[in-house]
C-alpha cells in the first residue's frame, strides 16, 4: 500500500516471486515512496532489502457502499471513545509495529517510521487515533494523495478499537471528497470487516482517476 530507479531490481522472468511482489531494492526516500504509490505499488519490509508489491487482486473499502457491522457501531456508541487525527502520528506507527498474538514482528522498521513521519510533516501521511480518556487504544495510518487514501496498518488495545478507527476514517474520507480507500493485499481479516477485491487492472484505473481528484483530508 512504483516506478523503479537505478537501485531497484525488477524480477527476472524465470523467478517465482510471491504473488504481488514486483521489485526488490530501492529506497524509502519520501519522494520515491510517493512515486511508488502513484504507480500502484507499496513497500513491505526492508530486511534485508525493501520489497515492492502490487497484488492482483487488490483489497479496497468501497467508500460509497461500506457499512460497518452493527456490533461495531454499538461498541462505538457505548464506549465513549474520543477520535482524533494527526495528534500522535509516530506513536500510532510504533503501536502498529508492536508484536501481537500471531504476529511476532512487523515490517514497520525504524526506516519506515522515519520516512512516513517525514510524509506526515509534509501533510501527506495521516493517522486516525482512538482514545479512552488520555490513553491511545487504537488507530491506523496511511497516505493521502488527491482523492486516494492508502491505508498502511492499524492496531487496537481494546476490542473493536481498530474497527472504530476505520469507521471514523471512512466518514472523514467521504466528507473530504475521497474516492478510493486502498487496503493493499486481501486477507481474511480485511474481508471480514468489509473490504472487497478488485482486479489489478481495475484498481490501477481507479487509482489514476483518484489521483486527479481534489480531496481534502
pLDDT mean by block of 10 residues, the chain; 217 residues: 30 50 93 97 88 96 94 91 98 92 77 97 98 97 98 96 97 98 95 96 98 97
Q: How far apart are CA 38 and CA 159, in angstroms?
A: 34
Looking at residue 104, what is its pLDDT?
Answer: 62
φ, ψ of residue 108 to 5 degrees: the values are: -80, 85
CA distances from 25 to 4, 10, 52, 109, 184 (A): 9, 9, 8, 15, 19
For the beta sheet containing 180-184, the strands, ordered from the edge strand earlier in sequence to the opposite edge, are 82-85, 125-132, 135-145, 148-156, 180-184, 58-61, 196-198
Is the domain 8-55 a CATH 3.30.70.3550 member? yes
Q: Are strands 58-61 and 196-198 parallel, antiparallel or unpaired?
A: antiparallel
Run of H or E including 153: strand 148-156
Enter the CATH code of domain 59-211: 3.40.630.70
Looking at residue 24, what is its pLDDT?
Answer: 92
Looking at residue 46, what is its pLDDT?
Answer: 74
Q: How far apart are CA 189 and CA 123, in angstroms?
A: 29
Amino acid at each position: 500500500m512504483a516506478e523503479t530507479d537505478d537501485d531497484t531490481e525488477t524480477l527476472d522472468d524465470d523467478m517465482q516471486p510471491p504473488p504481488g511482489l514486483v521489485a526488490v531494492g530501492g529506497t524509502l526516500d519520501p519522494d520515491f515512496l510517493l512515486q511508488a504509490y502513484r504507480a500502484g505499488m507499496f513497500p513491505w519490509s526492508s530486511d534485508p532489502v525493501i520489497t515492492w508489491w502490487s497484488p492482483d487482486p487488490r483489497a479496497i473499502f468501497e467508500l460509497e457502499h461500506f457499512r460497518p457491522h452493527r456490533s461495531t457501531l454499538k461498541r462505538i456508541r457505548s464506549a465513549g471513545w474520543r477520535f482524533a487525527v494527526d495528534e500522535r502520528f509516530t506513536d500510532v506507527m510504533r503501536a502498529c509495529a508492536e508484536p501481537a498474538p500471531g504476529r511476532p514482528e512487523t515490517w514497520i522498521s525504524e526506516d519506515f517510521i522515519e520516512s512516513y513521519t517525514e510524509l506526515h510533516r509534509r501533510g501527506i501521511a495521516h493517522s486516525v487515533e482512538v482514545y479512552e480518556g488520555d490513553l491511545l487504544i487504537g488507530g491506523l495510518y496511511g497516505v493521502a494523495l488527491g482523492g486516494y487514501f492508502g491505508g498502511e496498518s492499524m492496531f487496537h488495545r481494546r476490542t473493536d478499537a481498530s474497527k472504530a478507527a476505520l469507521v471514523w476514517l471512512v466518514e472523514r474520507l467521504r466528507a473530504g471528497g475521497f474516492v478510493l480507500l486502498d487496503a493493499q493485499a486481501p486477507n481474511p481479516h480485511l474481508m471480514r470487516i468489509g473490504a472487497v477485491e478488485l482486479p489489478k487492472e481495475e484498481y490501477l484505473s481507479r487509482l489514476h482517476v483518484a489521483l486527479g481528484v481534489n480531496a481534502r483530508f
